[in-house]
Chain A
Amino acid sequence: MPTIDIDKQELFDYLGNQFDTASFRELCFEFGIELEEDSSEKGQLAEGERAQLKIDIPANRYDLLCFEGVSRALGVFLRREDPPTYKVVPAAEPHRITVSAECAQVRPFVVGAVLRGVTLTAERYQSFIDLQDKLHHNLCKKRELVSIGTHDLDTVEGPFTYEAQRPEDIQFVPLNQTESMNGRRVIEFYEDDQHIKKFLHIIRDSPVYPVVYDAKRRVMSLPPLINSEHSKISLDTRNILIEITATDLTKVNMTLNILVTMFSKYCNEPFTVEPVEVVYPDGKKFVYPELEQRLMATTGEYLNGIVGIEKSNDEISELLKKMSLEAEVQGDKINVKLPATRPDILQECDIAEDLAIAFGYNRIPRVQNNEATVAAPHPLNKLSDIVRREIALAGWTEALTLSLCSHDNNFAHLRRKDNGDEVVVLENPKSSENQICRTLLLPGLLKTVCENKRYALPLRVFEVSDVVLKNAAVERGAQNQRHACALYASNEARFEIVQGLLDEVMKSLNVVSVVEANKGVRYCLEEADIPTYLPGRGANVMLINEDGSSLELGTIGILHPEVLGNFDLKTPVSAFEINIEPFL
């Protein structure tokens, strides 16, 4: 969720001096933004320091990412002002950007607009820069999809061209630098720049780099990295040319619209923008920005139904005004005019949310919905709970270990080999503790015992939980398996203790030992050479069906002393681990 910093006094003045921090926090809550912090509440401000508000903005509300946007939206919400109408007015001398064919290889799209007669102050200038940063970070996906260039129009001459050239052929002085460099040098130069280096990868390996020229072949920007020193804007800039390049045509338009709707406020003629014509190599021409209101048709019945209120169409249209949405009632229908500032509205449901906010979430009448449905547990969870309770009743303590672990934990430490056919491996873990999904519960329980050495022996610990196994036969390539694992750690291994617990669990599931019966569903221990266990003290736990067929459920044994050493344990441990899904 993006956060913006706003000058407290300036905002409170704008809203008519009716708020203190507490009541403003309430307003934010109601509107769906969050006052995270008021710097004056944190302690004494330094002399001359102005109180700042930190406000969390929902990730899809790009129109609230600057002072201009959030103050206007709240002003309209409080019905102190009407939302402005944004107009595209023709320029005396039309602006044009011609796109060369090579751009398609690296960054195909460009859009533009001109803000005429702008009055900047230090605060407005900073807000303009900050908004670009926020947009670059969020909507523009760290400049990968979209990047913004802004220029002092009076330092350059149109028509402009958007080209893609070999880096060696591009030569210019980047913003705030004195050295003239070519494209290769730019990459090298910014390799150590904390800010710019994060974007170098976007074009570094491309044979051609995107570049914007003016009519006199002066480089204006090298998207998505840096503008030129020559055309940079300053507090004295009066006419601003915005060019935005992109790989995503939807987002580039959203970005342009947000910038011009926010900052056209400071134009000679507020909320007007001069268009820029973009000509593509195939001769197709487009004019930007596209500020026309979108129309979305909905009905009072639908909106009322979603929110759970009963308002007339006229009342709905009044409420929507608080959200900067103009609505026309046409019989049963409500036609909502969506301003260019609200690209987040995709469907009627988005209008329903705005209506709910305008009405007030906490004023919506509570209506109990009494449709009868039948409750039911998931059968596997029900089975797990039976096994869990049996084991706990027998005196074992339940642990809940992590399902991700290191590869060694699951294999080498248990003296097991990875044949590549069982374990799910993660691509991008941040820690070696998260390399794989466990295929056994045992390593987690051994680590639990290791962390609890301070307690008197014996330790009896168990877990009933899922492991993950590869399975090429299912769509997802892997599936969970529910295991039960229990261990006993003491001065002596006492195999018969975990064996007795296993007998108990089996009995609770109506399965008898082969020692006690020779027909029916039974289980047995089959001595086996299992590297995790002490030789001669390990066995497979087998389920024998009524028809005599058998199935391996898991293993039981005294852990191999090397395994115990790998988990930093000095006491003998015996354990069993079985798959309980066959008992479903």
Chain B
Amino acid sequence: MSEELKLTILKKLDSEGSIKDTTAAFKGVSEEVVLGALKSLESQEKVAYVTLTTEFWTIEAEGKDQLENGSYEARIFEAVPAGSQGIAIKDLEAKFGKVAKLGQGKCLANKWVKKDGDSLVRIADSIVDQVKAGLETVHATGTHPSKDTIKDLKRRKLIKANKTVSYAVSKGAQFSTELKKQATDLTMEMMQSGAWKSAEFKKFNFKSLGVNPNGGKLHPLMKVREEFRQVFFETGFEEMPTNNFVESSFWNFDALFVPQQHAARDLQDTFYLKDPAVASSLPDFWETVKDVHEKGGYGSIGYRYPWSEDEAKRLVLRTHTTAVSAHMLNKLAQGPYRPAKYFSIDRVYRNETVDATHLAEFHQVEGVIADKNMSLGSLIAFLDMFFKKMGMSDLRFKPTYNPYTEPSMEIFSYHEGLGKWLELGNSGMFRPEMLRSLGLEEGVQVAGFGLSLERPTMFKYDVSNIRELLGHEVDLGMIARNPACRLDKKMGREALQRSEAVDEI
């Protein structure tokens, strides 16, 4: 059928040049069928068409009644006799039923009749039935020259709007009167038979999306971690074994010269363990650590408080990966001096109340550089280079306080999109009280720096609630949708801002 119609259309075009109105040309064929044929022909560029829309009005059942028998109000008017006697309303209701109520309202509004007690009395001598006249025009022409009349009839539900759609068709670029079956795809059969050579391919809609491959995806936080790892590898860093979430307070705090009364060691801030509760032993240099806390040493006056071995043995979930750095530096000190660079990216724990920006666990990125020539100047130069690889230049440093580094620096970077300085992380030179207790010889300077992995990830991937990034509340769709991590390129919110800026221009 549709092939037949298509051929008919093509032949008609061939003989007549164009088709002005398909409804007139193909009587009895529904508009949808015509459209289907036209679309198919258009995709082969055999025809072009424009849509013609005409609006017309048809008369509803109630309208038909009034067209034949006069409007309700006219009928009521006729029923009211001339003279002052009039007619009782209840008589009208008995005669006309529901028409009485509707008709008399209009009659009163039109000032054709008036109420006199329980009766209606004529005011006008004669009337013109405008409604009936209007309906007659619509019936004859499908519309009415007066918009008000149409509006009134429509409001009274006497007429209904109707639309006819029709098409004007002309020849397309590839016009011919022949129809060839189009191929939608290249198939193996076509390759084998050679049919592809003469096949006509259906026009492809490139304004479309492809089929989702439904493949596996890596987690965005792990993708950002991989970028950081690459930068560390590029700059000669060795990855530390951080697969120990449980540490003794000794390694987590005391060995780093964090005094035992320090607020970071409060139950409010640090997770202590109930089972197992204490370390079975302390490393053999524990007395050196005790001395430097209690009495000082290595040029330091120390903290001068009674140091408790029991406190040092209490087990904690590490609050930073610097606990592991301390292990590594202690190990490094066992051999002859050599410069070393270590890094890690792993989980650390804080006894935080969870909210949109805080979790009890998060990932810390940490780098440590041990070198006799290390100074604040060379640390700054390194951080400049390190962050530049991630697309962050314009670093600025603010003096700050850390219990185990001195001098200490907060790292800031200017963000052009946001127009403000963002804090990237913390850094500093480890204190001699720590380094020398760990066994490093005098003159070996160790610089360290750290930042959270979640912060840049949330920024880069436009995640505002940390719980939707790390943990089971993650949106698997977000994991599937997000782009590869390239820290040196604009991503997420940054990229978005850029396109908004372009829109403004």
Contacts of B237 in A (CB 8 A): 373, 375
Question: Is A371 touching B373 in the complex (CB atoms < 8 A)?
Answer: yes
Question: Is A380 touching B241 in the complex (CB atoms < 8 A)?
Answer: yes
CA gap between A157 and B275 in the complex, in Å: 55
Given A307-B377, A347-B432, A399-B476; A428-B347 close (CB under 8 Å): no
Contacts of B222 in A (CB 8 A): 388, 398, 400
Contacts of B281 in A (CB 8 A): 475
Contacts of B215 in A (CB 8 A): 392-393, 395
CA gap between A399 and B385 in the complex, in Å: 32
User: Closest CB of chain A to B270's CB: distance in Å?
Assistant: 8
Q: Which residue of A lies closest to B233 (CB)?
A: A375
User: Closest CB of chain A to B70's CB: distance in Å?
Assistant: 62
Question: Is A427 touching B273 in the complex (CB atoms < 8 A)?
Answer: yes
Question: Is A250 touching B399 in the complex (CB atoms < 8 A)?
Answer: no
Q: Check: A337 CB closer than 8 A to any chain B CB.
A: no
CA gap between A399 and B478 in the complex, in Å: 11
The residues in B between 376 and 424 inclusive whose CB is less than 8 angstroms from any CB of A are 376-378, 380-382, 384-385, 396-401, 403, 406-409
Number of interchain pairs (Cβ within 8 Å) = 299
Given A373-B236, A400-B221, A478-B276; A306-B407 close (CB under 8 Å): yes
Q: Check: A321 CB closer than 8 A to any chain B CB.
A: no
Contacts of B280 in A (CB 8 A): 472, 474-475, 477
Q: Which of A58-66, A83-91, A164-172, A193-201 interfaces with chain B? A: A58-66
Question: Is A364 touching B271 in the complex (CB atoms < 8 A)?
Answer: no
Question: Is B474 touching A399 in the complex (CB atoms < 8 A)?
Answer: yes
Q: Check: B361 CB closer than 8 A to any chain A CB.
A: yes
Q: Check: A284 CB closer than 8 A to any chain B CB.
A: no
Contacts of B431 in A (CB 8 A): 347, 349
Q: Check: A470 CB closer than 8 A to any chain B CB.
A: yes
Question: Is A400 touching B399 in the complex (CB atoms < 8 A)?
Answer: no
CA gap between A425 and B246 in the complex, in Å: 11
Q: Check: B216 CB closer than 8 A to any chain A CB.
A: yes
Contacts of B239 in A (CB 8 A): 376-378, 381
Question: Is B377 touching A365 in the complex (CB atoms < 8 A)?
Answer: yes
User: Closest CB of chain B to A342's CB: distance in Å?
Assistant: 12
Contacts of A357 in B (CB 8 A): 399, 407
CA gap between A400 and B473 in the complex, in Å: 10
Contacts of B261 in A (CB 8 A): 141, 145, 248
Contacts of B199 in A (CB 8 A): none
Q: Which residue of B lies closest to A437 (CB)?
A: B245
Contacts of A378 in B (CB 8 A): 239-243, 344
CA gap between A357 and B476 in the complex, in Å: 47
Question: Is A346 touching B296 in the complex (CB atoms < 8 A)?
Answer: yes
Contacts of A476 in B (CB 8 A): 244, 246-248, 279, 315
Contacts of A372 in B (CB 8 A): 236, 339
Contact among B216, B248, B296, B374 with A391 in the assembled complex (CB-CB below 8 Å): B216
Chain B: residues with Cβ within 8 Å of the partner, total of: 105
Q: Check: B156 CB closer than 8 A to any chain A CB.
A: no
Q: Check: B181 CB closer than 8 A to any chain A CB.
A: no
Given A388-B222, A403-B347; A427-B274 close (CB under 8 Å): yes
Contact among B218, B305, B353, B408 with A430 in the assembled complex (CB-CB below 8 Å): B353
User: Closest CB of chain A to B428's CB: distance in Å?
Assistant: 9
Contacts of A420 in B (CB 8 A): 275
Contacts of A518 in B (CB 8 A): none
Most buried by A among B378, B474, B476: B476
Given A395-B214, A402-B359; A361-B472 close (CB under 8 Å): no
User: Closest CB of chain B to A304's CB: distance in Å?
Assistant: 8
User: Closest CB of chain A to B88's CB: distance in Å?
Assistant: 69
CA gap between A22 and B106 in the complex, in Å: 77
Given A58-B400, A368-B381, A434-B271; A306-B473 close (CB under 8 Å): no
User: Closest CB of chain B to A480's CB: distance in Å?
Assistant: 4
CA gap between A346 and B279 in the complex, in Å: 30
Q: Check: A536 CB closer than 8 A to any chain B CB.
A: no
CA gap between A491 and B377 in the complex, in Å: 61
Contact among A31, A294, A424, A461 with B246 in the assembled complex (CB-CB below 8 Å): A424
Contacts of A248 in B (CB 8 A): 261, 305
Q: Check: B254 CB closer than 8 A to any chain A CB.
A: no
User: Closest CB of chain B to A541's CB: distance in Å?
Assistant: 21
The residues in B between 432 and 464 inclusive whose CB is less than 8 angstroms from any CB of A are 432-433, 445
Given A362-B396, A375-B238, A447-B472; A307-B248 close (CB under 8 Å): no
Question: Is A455 touching B248 in the complex (CB atoms < 8 A)?
Answer: no
Contact among B233, B243, B407 with A352 in the assembled complex (CB-CB below 8 Å): B407
Contacts of A477 in B (CB 8 A): 246, 273, 276, 278-280, 315
Question: Is B315 touching A377 in the complex (CB atoms < 8 A)?
Answer: no
User: Closest CB of chain B to A512's CB: distance in Å?
Assistant: 23
Q: Which residue of A lies closest to B239 (CB)?
A: A378
Contacts of B235 in A (CB 8 A): 375
Q: What are 30 A-to-B residue pairs whose CB atoms are below 8 Å?
A: A248-B261, A250-B303, A305-B445, A309-B377, A347-B301, A361-B376, A364-B376, A364-B377, A367-B377, A372-B339, A373-B236, A375-B233, A376-B238, A392-B215, A393-B216, A397-B479, A398-B217, A398-B479, A400-B469, A402-B359, A403-B245, A404-B360, A428-B267, A429-B360, A452-B474, A466-B245, A472-B280, A475-B248, A475-B283, A477-B315
In the A-B complex, the 5 residue pairs with the smallest Cβ-Cβ separation, listed nearest first, are A308-B377, A32-B399, A308-B375, A477-B276, A58-B401
19 further A-B pairs in the complex, CB-CB below 8 A; given A365-B377, A401-B471: A1-B401, A34-B398, A308-B377, A362-B396, A362-B397, A366-B381, A368-B382, A369-B378, A371-B373, A373-B238, A373-B341, A375-B233, A399-B476, A404-B361, A430-B360, A431-B360, A434-B271, A444-B472, A476-B248
